[in-house]
Amino acid sequence: MHHVNTVSALRQHLSTARLNGHSIGFVPTMGALHQGHLNLVERAKTECDIVVCSIFVNPTQFNNPDDLARYPRTLDEDSALLETVGTDVIFSPSVTEMYPEPATLRFDFGNLETVMEGASRPGHFNGVGLVVSKLFHMVQPDRAYFGQKDLQQVAVIRRLVRDLSFPLELIRCDTVREADGLAMSSRNRLLSAEERTQAPMLFDALTLAKNMLLDEYTPEQAQAAVRDYIAHQPAFTLDYIEVVNTDSLQPIIELQAPGQTALCLAAQLGKVRLIDNIVF
Ligand code: PAF
Q: In the CATH scheme, what is the homologous superfamily, with its name and number, of domain 2-173?
A: HUPs (3.40.50.620)
- Answer yes or no: are the C-beta atoms of 212 and 229 closer than 8 Å: no
Q: Is the CB of 152 under 6 A from ligand 1?
A: no
DSSP E strands, the chain: 2-4, 24-29, 50-55, 89-91, 143-147, 169-173, 236-245, 261-269, 272-279
Residue 180, pLDDT score: 98
For the chain, the domains span 2-173, 186-279
Residue 218, pLDDT score: 97
Please, what's the b/e burial string for 56-89 (b: 16 or more CB within 10 A of its CB; e: otherwise)?
Answer: bbbebbbeeeeeeeebbeeeeebbebbeebebbb
Q: Is the CB of 61 under 6 A from ligand 1?
A: yes
Q: What is the DSSP string of 173-205?
A: EPPPB-TTSPBP-GGGGGS-HHHHHHTTHHHHH
Q: Look up the CATH architecture of domain 186-279.
A: 2-Layer Sandwich (3.30)
Residue 159, pLDDT score: 97
Q: Indicate whether this model's pTM tops 0.85.
A: yes
Element (H, E) at 77: helix 75-84
Residue 151, pLDDT score: 98
Distance (Å) from CA 59 to ligand 1 centroid:
11
Q: Reply yes or no on whether 37 is catalytic.
A: yes
Q: Is the CB of 150 under 6 A from ligand 1?
A: yes
Distance (Å) from CA 127 to ligand 1 centroid:
10
- Tell me the mean pLDDT per 10 residues along the chain, length 280: 98 96 98 98 98 98 94 97 98 98 96 97 97 98 98 98 98 98 97 98 98 97 98 97 97 95 98 97
The closest-lying atom of ligand 1 relative to the alpha carbon of residue 132 is: 9
The closest-lying atom of ligand 1 relative to the alpha carbon of residue 28 is: 8
Residue 198, pLDDT score: 98
Residue 30, pLDDT score: 98
Of all protein residues, the one whose alpha carbon is nearest to atom 8 of ligand 1 is 29
